[in-house]
Amino acid sequence: MPILSETHDAVTTLTIDRPHRRNALDLATLEELHSAVVAAVDGGARALVLTGAEGHFCAGADLTELEDVSFTVRLAEVLQHLAAVPITTIAAISGSCMGLGMQLAVACDLRVVGERARFAVPVAKLGLMVDQWTLDRVARFWGEGAARHMVLTAAVLDGDDAWRLGFAQLRGDLDAALDLARSAVPLAPLSQAGSKIGMNSSPAPDEAYSAAFSRAWASSDLAEGQRAFGERRTPRFEGR
């Protein structure tokens, strides 16, 4: 099973276990992750820790199976559900946290970051786009300057950047994340759930961005980005 689930003392730990792909997610694993989150909440967990196996959090979407925008539509539903669950969620991040990995990280409430963590939103390398919800969360949690740096230039930031810019709430490993989760368990559930509703409020979708999103996902550049990824070469984008 690519998603491992353990619950102790009302804290559920979900581990993405696809080390052969640096824990990149395909559609089946995405659905299993969603089911595991639902099961944790329904089972009475009071906090949830999301992590990855064998040194990496999540290297992104599994581009060997990413064919069209339908994956991102389902991804948006899963991410927004994760962000809205009425319990405290924590991303325990080591190694690669790229693309979809970053989306999972910003869907969580808090982040514990290891010193070898690496972060990126490399959409401009592939000719695709993430949804506006993701951009809003990345800008809010990293700061707009760092968000633009990653999104527009495909910059890779590290654990020191995450700490310096406030993206990480703690520096450490999975044990540190579990300690943080346990500190949330005895607190008032209605206060936590209600506060999350307030903090998750975001601007309404922008029609111009929605149109640009659709153009990118229907573009020749996206097809070129996918071919170049598979052929391990630099893509040649033409803006169409």
Predicted local distance difference test score (pLDDT) of residue 95? 98
Among candidates 210, 209, 219, which has minimal Cα distance to 239?
A: 219
Average pLDDT over residues 35-56: 98
Q: What are the C-alpha distances in Å from 229 to residues 44, 78, 225?
A: 42, 25, 6
One-letter amino acid at 19 equals P
Nearest-angstrom CA–CA distance, 112 and 115: 10
Task: State pLDDT tens for residues 58-84.
Answer: 999 987 766 567 888 999 999 999 999
Domain at 3-189: CATH architecture? Alpha-Beta Complex (3.90)
Question: Stretch 137-163: mean pLDDT, rounded?
Answer: 98
pLDDT tens per residue across span 119-142: 999 999 999 899 999 999 999 999
CA distance 198 to 169: 20
Domain boundaries, the chain: 3-189
